[in-house]
Structure 1
Amino acid sequence: MSLLSKDSFQQIKRIFMSVPQGRKSQVSDTRIIYYRDSERNNSYGIKRVLPLLSDPTFDFEKPTVFYIHGLVNWCHPNAYIETAFDSSVATVVNAYVAHGGFNMLVLDWGNLAFGDYISALLNIKPVGNAAGKAVFKLLKRGLDIKGLHIVGHSMGAHVAAVVARYLKTRRYIVPRITALDAAYPGFYPPLQTVPVNPKDADFVDIIHTDGGWFGASTSIGHVDFWPNGGTANQPGCLPFTLPLTVENFCNHWRSWQYWAESVNGGNFIARKCNTYEGFRQGKCFGTAFMGLAATPELRGNYYLRTASQEPFALGESGATLRRRGYT
């Protein structure tokens, strides 16, 4: 991997943009995008989502995934800004489309992810509550709560929690929330919004890839997966990078890359351990699948190894201890 690429400064360039072109920094301009396939999608205003259910391709018999993109950076108030059309969303969407077994929805709150970090923190509750109201309308018109799975990356994981909390006030319990490297700065301890936690859904699973830096460093779900220890440096990421460049977020972004691969059938087998050192020493018991195949009875911490490039999943060998000199 080279130190820099043509996209290295993509996030830094966004520092000088107030909002995406054609958008307003208002909750009312938040949108839900329904992906009919990887090429075709329909966007619905957060307050006008019901026509989504009238799309002839929407299948009420399928479970529905609601993906929420993220925003996080504690080095600069603006530098990590994500939209619903970035590679993280495209990668996850394409994985679900290829799978074919889900209705794919994305919360596009990029209009409120452009701004300083504190403003984004203050926007989490309004955005999450507005999205919760939208999902509530869909549930009242026939969307099956039993098939709803909310997946959030970075700050989007905490937005997902607010969505679930709103639905709980309307007597709908979300079956599953998956947090992909849930944002750390401003949440541990919480400055404004209680971070995602096991009370938010029947099953809350977490994938940690940049713990203690951009991502949470402690166990925060029913089950927490810690690939390669859950911290930098993830295999294939540079040990030293220029701050705020795309390469600087490599570890943080591994979470959604692992997730997308799991949706595509990647076999991420993890072993239950008290610590990563215990995993390295073979002091572990039991295995489980990390990713889409994780099951709701799982509890505790699981560790695994991954490859340095796609495909990242190592199958059963990923759940073995790392001996000296073995990578």
Structure 2
Amino acid sequence: MADGVEELSGGDAVPEDADGVVLCKGQQDVGLPLSPNSFRQILRVKTTVPKGRSASLGDVFLRVYGENSTLPKSYRLRDAKGMLSDAALDRAKPTVVYAHGYVELSSDESVMAVVRAYQGRGDFNIVVVDWANLGFGNYLAVALDLKPIGIETGKALSMLLKEGLSPKGLHLVGHSMGAHLLGFTARSLADRGHPVPRLTGLDPAYPGFYPAILASPMSVHDADFVDVIHTDGGGYGAPSRAGHADFWPNEGRAKQPGCISATIPLTYEDFCSHWRSWAFWAESVAGGQFLSRRCEDYDTFLRGQCGEEPSALMGIDASSNLRGNFYLRTAARAPFALGERGAE
């Protein structure tokens, strides 16, 4: 099971009547909202630096994944030029740069689900910004480190673009704090003459960024097209519009369908809605059709009062011409995309 994705039935068989007709299960069985991984994120917060890493900009990595590789080639930011001779990097292909969130590792499912989805497509260079060495410990301190990490990442990518990597297809995708980190990266690239075509935020981190107390959040000024998927708005994720096109699946708030309704704060289960953003993104990369409609708000959408608006795709195939707030429904478990039904 992927991180943050909870089965509604807890893995039990779906009940049937004597004729084999599936019966609707009214609610989940009562039980403690805990699992063997429940306190993983809390333990990571109490860890200053992941084992084997150092808390310095020099230990931030760009990890390059080939189409069939399970282990990436890794390059420190200062050594990024070596990527140009890497067989996994095709200068003619568009490049996706993905940044994970706070207290996450590049080996977590939140990263690998996205990597596998892009590998399945085979039409992108896949680069992961591994900043876990500066992403553990005190939340405030981590937030304050985002700007220098973003600037140095921008410098490294700028060098690659100058040496022939295609700037036209550059797409920055960040989850949670990673979205704000890539906002700084996009500004750094623009300052060096490389405006970013697209920046995607997957439930950008909320505390300390809205308003901008700790650091400047990602914004519409960071790229030609900025799209945002909200899944825990007002909780761990941004509570309001942050892009040119903002998508609000299931109102964009907790609890997302299929997530446990009662959870202990900061536990693995409590992040279920926040993590749905990357699960939806990975599914869209793999071909899932998340159709939405622009609407005034979710209630108006549910009342069917936005039917005159054309349906619009959420995810990798979102049109760069989209502007406004878009609403949709999803399934409670993977595959989440409902196609046209999700926009009804």
TM-score band w.r.t. shorter chain: over 0.9
Corresponding residue for 1:172?
194
Query: Match for residue 329 of structure 2?
Result: 305
In the alignment, does 2:312 pair up with 1:288?
yes
What residue number does 1:315 align with? 339
Residue 189 (str. 1) matches residue 211 (str. 2): yes
Q: Are 2:86 and 1:55 aligned? A: yes
Partner Cα separation in structure 1 for residue 88 and residue 276 of structure 2: 31
Choose the corresponding residue for 2:73, options 42, 48, 54. Answer: 42
Give the SS at the match of 2:179: helix
Q: Partners of 1:35 and 1:45 in 2: how far apart?
A: 15
SS at match of 1:47: helix
Kindly indicate whether residue 205 of structure 2 is the aligned counterpart of residue 205 of structure 1.
no
User: Is the Cα contact below 8 Å between 2:203 and 2:238 reproduced in 1?
Assistant: yes
Q: Which moved more, 1:254-263 or 1:132-141?
A: 132-141
Quick check: 2:140–2:214 contact (8 Å CA) kept in 1? no
Structure 2 equivalent of residue 240 of structure 1? 262
* Higher-Rg member (1/2): 2
TM normalised by structure 2 equals 0.89
1:112 match? 134
Distance in 1 of aligned mates of 2:87 and 2:237: 39
Count of residue pairs the alignment pairs up: 311
Once the two structures are superposed, residues 251-310 of structure 1 have per-residue CA deviations (whole angstroms, 9 ceiling, x without a partner) of: 000000000000000010001101111101112122100000101000011100000000
3-state SS in 2 of match to 1:150: strand
Distance 1:134 1:163 in 2: 10
What is residue 30 of structure 1 aligned with on the other side? Answer: 60
Which of 145, 161, 164 is equivalent to 1:123? 145
- Deviations along 1:2-48, one digit per CA (max 9) or x if unpaired, are 52222122112223422111111111111100011341310101111
Give SS of 1:212's match: coil
Give, in whole Å, the separation in 2 of the partners of 1:107 and 1:57.
Answer: 16
Corresponding residue number in structure 1 for 2:169: 147
Which one of the candidate residues 48, 72, 97 is aligned to 1:18?
48
Structure 2 residue runs without a partner (length 5+) = 1-6, 11-32
- Are the counterparts in 1 of residues 46 and 137 from structure 2 also a CA contact under 8 Å? no
3-state DSSP class of the match of 1:67?
Answer: strand
SS at match of 1:145: coil
Counterpart CA distance in 2 for 1:197 and 1:15 is 27
Q: How does 1:208-227 map to 2 (within 5 A)?
A: 208-227=230-249
Residue 171 of structure 2 aligns to a residue in which SS? strand
Distance in 1 separating the partners of 2:265 and 2:131:
25
Match of 1:19, as an amino acid? Answer: V
Partner Cα distance (1:258, 1:283) in 2: 25
Are the counterparts in 2 of residues 155 and 183 from structure 1 also a CA contact under 8 Å?
yes
Task: Give the equivalent residue in structure 2 for 1:6.
Answer: 36
**Match in the other structure for 1:77:** none
Following superposition, which runs of at least 4 residues in structure 1 exceed 6 angstroms of deviation? none
SS of residue matched to 2:63:
strand
Q: Is the 8 A contact 1:38 1:93 kept in 2?
A: no
**SS of aligned partner of 2:78:** coil
How far does residue 85 in structure 1 lie from its aligned partner after superposition?
1.2
Q: Secondary structure at the match of 1:199?
A: helix
Shift of 1:236: 0.3
- Contact 2:154–2:188 (CA under 8 A) maintained in structure 1: yes
After superposition, the C-alpha distances for 1:57-98 in whole angstroms (9 at most, x for unaligned) are: 321121000000111xxxxxxxxx111111100111111111
Structural RMSD (CA): 1.0
Pick one of 100, 112, 115 that aligns with 1:93: 115
* Mapped contact 1:205–1:224 kept (Cα < 8 A): yes
Task: Give the TM-score of the pair, scaled to structure 1.
Answer: 0.93
1:193 shift after superposition: 2.0
Distance 1:191 1:223 in 2: 24
Q: 2:28: which partner in 1? A: none
In the aligned structure 1, how far is the partner of 2:179 from the partner of 2:165?
Answer: 22
- Of all paired residues, the percent bearing the same amino acid is 52
Name the amino acid aligned to 1:6.
P
